[in-house]
């Protein structure tokens, strides 16, 4: 328990007693030791308190609890794996809310390999769904570093992206139907496995990416895809981000949608990884300014795409877009190349403070964004170590300026964090100018809520508030987040 974490309880005992009766002894905890991890965020930068974490067993129990909360005006924080990074899943500190965790609702209700769908409960861990799809000789392509602990309800509520958006789209594109408990306690059964359904508003899309502010997702019908039988993974060295986009065009012209992942990595990020992550060597004999991790997948025999990928890289090398490349000889080497990419966030933590951005711009503006952002940051903070990496194939860049070396002392370390707002302003103003988004993947939560107000038009904010007011007029569903 953090010393300064208080344990206020502003929910009436009568309300807590009714919730206990609705879910039974397995369905809740009031033990401070069990409650605490639900109230802290993964990076420990959001903290709050609730007097009770409720863990319903099914949608009917969720509905019963939400109905009690609606009647009593008790705010609810829905929670999945609690891996979100924006404070959306953590309660406020006044003890006036309860958390509803979906962790016990983890059944796969159905896998239909003819319809290519899987009907699952919100609390299923993402990695478990990938495994279940694979066991049925299918692919569920949503994949991200938190997949061992995040839950599909949380993935859908944040419209998660990850490494394969380029080929399969983000979470929004992977859903055919939803079951949702509404803020008044009614259950909306929209669990339809249809690829065509033009019967009015597409209601499920309202709840996807809503970060728990419009209702609690309790189940979903997910799309399945043929499982790739052939994977080629290459780490490619490049002179600059523009060359990476030329390589992407070249690869897509050659193999179309088979380009499944395309991740940009700045040299500085590789330096951080090699310096701090044991067992990760420099991938190429020489150092280059930029790299791309490219994955091409298909349904053919193993290595059937190898010649094609080698041809793409050879042409790009000749054309000057590519400086060097390594093509993984097998899956093990492919995983080793992915480890470099996946280790960047952890490695950057060892380099002192950094200010993280999760932004997107149209692909055609990416090179300009990085160049102008670097220039503006260097002018404002001489010696700043900007790190750009991410899902460049989707226009999504994690742009994380790290403190200058001069700030590396304990005494000066905190200075850079104090610049958080000013650095956000430089980066987000540029993003707005380039018609981009200040949150490509992680959502708004509390972290970016006020920033979104700054950059969205009055009309767009009005529309968002109208939707919230229509579905949750009493504002009990995750209040203070998103809008
Ligand atoms: C190491 C790491 C890597 C990551 N990489 C990526 C990445 O590549 N791409 C990406 O998009 N994201 C990434 N994320 C963030 C990711 O989107 C979220 O971690 C994940 O999708 C959230 O799932 P969760 O179950 O942990 O949800 P939580 O963190 O519990 O909740 C997230 C939000 O959804 C709401 N919510 C949760 N469950 C429900 C529900 N059933 N109904 C309604 N609302 C609900 C919560 O109230 C909260 O607002 C990463 C996170 C980590 C820690």
SS3 (DSSP) at 396: strand
Q: Pick from 101, 140, 158 the residue to mutate for probing ligand 1's pocket: most ligand atoms within 8 Å of its CB.
A: 158
Whole-angstrom distance, CA of residue 92 vs CA of residue 90: 7
Nearest CA to ligand 1 atom 33: 211
Nearest CA to ligand 1 atom 18: 84
Confidence at residue 213, expressed as pLDDT on a 0 to 100 scale:
98
Query: Is 321 near ligand 1, meaning CB less than 6 Å away?
Result: no
Spatial strand order in the sheet of 385-390 = 324-327, 230-238, 290-298, 259-266, 385-390, 396-402, 358-360
Pairing mode of beta strands 98-101, 76-79? parallel
Q: What is the mean pLDDT of residues 206-232?
A: 98
**What's the CA-to-centroid distance between 210 and ligand 1, angstroms?**
11
Query: Is 479 near ligand 1, meaning CB less than 6 Å away?
Result: no
Q: Pick from 41, 144, 159, 447 the residue to mutate for probing ligand 1's pocket: most ligand atoms within 8 Å of its CB.
A: 144
Whole-angstrom distance, CA of residue 111 vs CA of residue 106: 14
All domains in the chain, ordered by first residue: 13-101 (3.30.43.10), 108-226 (3.30.465.10), 230-345 (3.30.70.2190), 351-439 (3.30.70.2740)
- The three-state (H, E, C) secondary structure of 206-229, written as one string: HHCCCCCCCCEEEEEEEECEECCC
Confidence at residue 416, expressed as pLDDT on a 0 to 100 scale:
87
Q: What is the mean pLDDT of residues 193-215?
A: 97
38-72 in b/e form (b: 16+ CB < 10 A) is bbbbbeeebbbbbbbbbbbbbbebbbbbbbbbbee
Confidence at residue 50, expressed as pLDDT on a 0 to 100 scale:
98
Pairing mode of beta strands 53-54, 98-101? parallel
Query: Is 161 near ligand 1, meaning CB less than 6 Å away?
Result: yes
DSSP 400: E
**Backbone torsions φ then ψ of 444, nearest 5 degrees:** -100, -45
Query: Is 111 near ligand 1, meaning CB less than 6 Å away?
Result: no
- Chain segment 296-342, per-residue pLDDT in tens: 999 999 999 999 999 999 999 999 999 999 999 999 999 999 999 99
CB 77 within 8 A of CB 478: yes
- Chain segment 57-88, per-residue pLDDT in tens: 999 999 999 999 999 999 999 999 999 999 99
**What's the CA-to-centroid distance between 97 and ligand 1, angstroms?**
20
Q: What percent of the chain has pLDDT over 90?
A: 93
Whole-angstrom distance, CA of residue 77 vs CA of residue 91: 6
Whole-angstrom distance, CA of residue 56 vs CA of residue 123: 10
Query: Is 164 near ligand 1, meaning CB less than 6 Å away?
Result: no
Tokens of 444: 């708004």
pLDDT band, very low/low/confident/very high, at 405 (cuts 50, 70, 90) = confident
Q: Pick from 84, 127, 130, 207 the residue to mutate for probing ligand 1's pocket: most ligand atoms within 8 Å of its CB.
A: 84
- Chain segment 407-424, per-residue pLDDT in tens: 554 444 457 889 999 999
Q: What is the mean pLDDT of residues 196-225?
A: 97
DSSP 403: P
pLDDT over 80 (residue 152): yes
Confidence at residue 5, expressed as pLDDT on a 0 to 100 scale:
66
**401 closest CA partner among 352, 436, 356, 369:** 356
Q: What is the mean pLDDT of residues 230-258?
A: 97
Query: Is 56 near ligand 1, meaning CB less than 6 Å away?
Result: no
CB 218 within 8 A of CB 153: yes
Beta strands in 274-395 (DSSP E): 290-298, 324-327, 358-360, 385-390
SS3 (DSSP) at 132: helix
Whole-angstrom distance, CA of residue 33 vs CA of residue 367: 48
Confidence at residue 118, expressed as pLDDT on a 0 to 100 scale:
98
Confidence at residue 417, expressed as pLDDT on a 0 to 100 scale:
84
Rounded to 10 degrees, the C-alpha dihedral 472/455/359/223 comes to 30
Nearest CA to ligand 1 atom 44: 212
Task: Provide the mean pLDDT of the chain.
Answer: 95
Query: Is 183 near ligand 1, meaning CB less than 6 Å away?
Result: no
pLDDT band, very low/low/confident/very high, at 3 (cuts 50, 70, 90) = very low
Give residue for tokens 């018609």.
435
Whole-angstrom distance, CA of residue 342 vs CA of residue 357: 17
Ligand 1 atom closest to Cα of residue 445: 49
The runs of H, that is alpha helices, within 266-329 are 267-276, 306-319
Whole-angstrom distance, CA of residue 425 vs CA of residue 357: 11
**What's the CA-to-centroid distance between 276 and ligand 1, angstroms?**
26
Confidence at residue 42, expressed as pLDDT on a 0 to 100 scale:
78
CB 424 within 8 A of CB 451: yes
- Chain segment 199-209, per-residue pLDDT in tens: 999 999 999 99
**Backbone torsions φ then ψ of 143, nearest 5 degrees:** -150, 125
Q: What is the mean pLDDT of residues 122-145?
A: 97
Whole-angstrom distance, CA of residue 275 vs CA of residue 295: 25
**Backbone torsions φ then ψ of 238, nearest 5 degrees:** -140, 160
pLDDT band, very low/low/confident/very high, at 4 (cuts 50, 70, 90) = low
Specify the pTM: 0.95
């Amino acid at each position: 328990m953090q010393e300064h974490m208080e344990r206020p309880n502003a929910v009436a005992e009568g309300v807590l007693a009714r919730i206990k009766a609705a879910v039974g002894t397995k369905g809740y905890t009031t033990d401070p030791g069990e409650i605490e991890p639900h109230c802290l965020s993964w990076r420990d930068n959001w903290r709050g308190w609730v007097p009770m974490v409720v863990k319903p067993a099914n949608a009917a129990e969720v509905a019963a609890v939400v109905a009690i909360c609606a009647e009593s005006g008790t705010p609810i924080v829905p929670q999945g794996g609690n891996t979100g990074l924006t404070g959306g899943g953590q309660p406020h500190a006044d003890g006036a809310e309860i958390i509803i965790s979906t962790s016990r609702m983890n059944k796969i209700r159905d896998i239909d390999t003819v319809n290519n769908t899987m009907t699952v409960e919100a609390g299923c861990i993402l990695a478990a769904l990938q495994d279940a799809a694979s066991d049925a000789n299918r692919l569920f392509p949503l994949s991200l570093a938190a997949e061992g602990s995040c839950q599909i309800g949380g993935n859908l509520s944040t419209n998660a992206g990850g490494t394969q958006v380029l080929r399969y789209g983000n979470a929004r594109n992977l859903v055919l139907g939803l079951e949702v408990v509404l803020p008044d306690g009614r259950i909306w059964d929209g669990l339809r496995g249809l690829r065509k359904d033009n019967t009015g508003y597409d209601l499920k899309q309202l709840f996807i990416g809503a970060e728990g502010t419009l209702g609690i997702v309790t189940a979903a019908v997910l799309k399945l895809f043929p499982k790739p039988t052939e994977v080629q993974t290459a780490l490619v060295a490049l002179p600059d981000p523009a060359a990476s986009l030329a390589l992407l065009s070249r690869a897509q012209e050659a193999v179309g949608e088979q380009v499944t992942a395309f991740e940009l990595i700045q040299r500085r990020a590789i330096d951080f990884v090699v310096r701090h992550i044991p067992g990760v060597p420099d991938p190429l004999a020489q150092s280059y300014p930029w790299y791309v991790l490219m994955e091409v997948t298909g349904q053919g025999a193993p290595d059937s795409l190898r010649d094609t990928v080698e041809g793409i890289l050879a042409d790009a090398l000749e054309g000057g877009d590519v400086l060097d490349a390594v093509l993984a000889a097998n899956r093990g080497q492919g995983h080793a190349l992915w480890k470099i990419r996946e280790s960047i966030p952890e490695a950057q933590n060892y380099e002192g403070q950094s200010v993280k951005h999760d932004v997107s711009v149209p692909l055609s503006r990416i090179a300009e964004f990085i160049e102008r952002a670097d220039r503006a940051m260097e002018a404002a903070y001489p010696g700043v170590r900007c790190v750009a990496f991410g899902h460049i194939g989707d226009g999504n860049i994690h742009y994380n300026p790290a403190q200058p070396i001069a700030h590396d002392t304990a005494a000066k370390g905190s200075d850079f964090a104090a610049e958080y707002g000013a650095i956000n302003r430089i980066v987000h103003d540029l993003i707005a100018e380039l018609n981009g988004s200040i949150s490509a993947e992680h959502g708004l939560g509390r972290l970016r809520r006020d920033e979104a107000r700054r950059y969205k038009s009055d009309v767009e904010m009005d529309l968002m508030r109208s939707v919230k007011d229509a579905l949750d007029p009493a504002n009990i569903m995750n209040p203070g987040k998103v809008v």
